[in-house]
Copies of this chain bind each other. A is one copy, B any other.
């Protein structure tokens, strides 16, 4: 059943012994929305705990400190920022059919829950958590404010992406006033690179090539480079956006070597250039400006396949500026 913010707050107000589940590979919005809700429920005198399939990643220790989940048998189960049961990983078996309330902002949400609050217009699930906490009339502690700020800042790329809303800015302002340590959070989330990620960046920049008069930039990442740099999958996130960020580039291609020697292709485009049409020619798909596919190796062969698939679109003249 779809419910609104007020109804979600009223349900939570009536419950106790609440398990809050976040998704696997938890990010700032996953932890932020789960922990802000946890602390609001605890402030109301309720018993609750947060679980994720990957536990409590040390990189987010600034958010939840030395968290030790309380042991109890849950009577109610809430998911925050979880778009589908698969994202609950090994926790799905036990809980996926027992979810009482799903709070999320993903456009497509496949969670099976008794009550669903899914608001795709929200910049982050933390925006919904914020509004529920307001409904519950719980004052924002610095920890809660930091958690909400983290979720909103990370899901909007620190207010850079197109999904940023005026509401996201206003909540950030309020959370700063409530004590969110925004300078520390921003430094940790947006201004820190691991030495391994830096090494990957260096190796990746050495592979940079331009095609179609500089309108296409292509980079490749070998398995050996990933191994040598010792970086996690998590740290590699975001690399696909790099080639498109170069001035004058309309199509950014990232080729990532797979264990079997084939290549995973990420294509990011600007404007009217249709990434999903290009990847569709290689049995892939996606959105208009972000799509993917898999092509067979070795590297030179992979490049040729991608460039051939791009050719029909790239040889067209750029449309005149509106």
User: Which of A's residues lie within 8 Å of B, judged by CB?
Assistant: 153, 158-162, 164-167, 169-170, 172-174, 176-177, 182-183, 186, 190-195, 198, 201-202, 205-206, 208, 214, 241, 245-248
Contact = CB atoms under 8 A, between A and B. Distances in A.
A124 to B, nearest CB: 14
Tell which of A153, A165, A173, A190 has the most Cβ of chain B within 10 Å. A173
Nearest to A153: B159
A239 B202 CA distance: 15
7 contacts: A158-B160, A164-B183, A167-B173, A195-B214, A195-B247, A195-B248, A202-B205
Contacts of A202: 202, 205-206, 208
B167 A247 contact: no
B246 A195 contact: yes
B169 A245 contact: no
A240 to B, nearest CB: 13
A165 B169 CA distance: 11
Contacts of A170: 169-170, 173
A157 to B, nearest CB: 8
A9 B162 CA distance: 34
A121 to B, nearest CB: 14
B193 A172 contact: no
Taken together, the copies of this chain in the complex come to 2
A205 B195 contact: no
A245 B192 contact: yes
A159 B183 contact: no
A192 B252 CA distance: 12
B173 A245 contact: no
A182 to B, nearest CB: 7
6 closest A-B pairs by CB: A166-B173, A169-B173, A162-B183, A169-B169, A202-B205, A160-B186
Contacts of A162: 183
A205 B186 CA distance: 23
Contacts of A208: 198, 202
Nearest to A188: B247
Contacts of A172: 159, 166, 169
Contacts of A182: 164
A122 to B, nearest CB: 15
Contacts of A201: 205
A110 B182 CA distance: 32
Contact of A198 (B161, B192, B198, B205): B205
Contacts of A158: 158-160
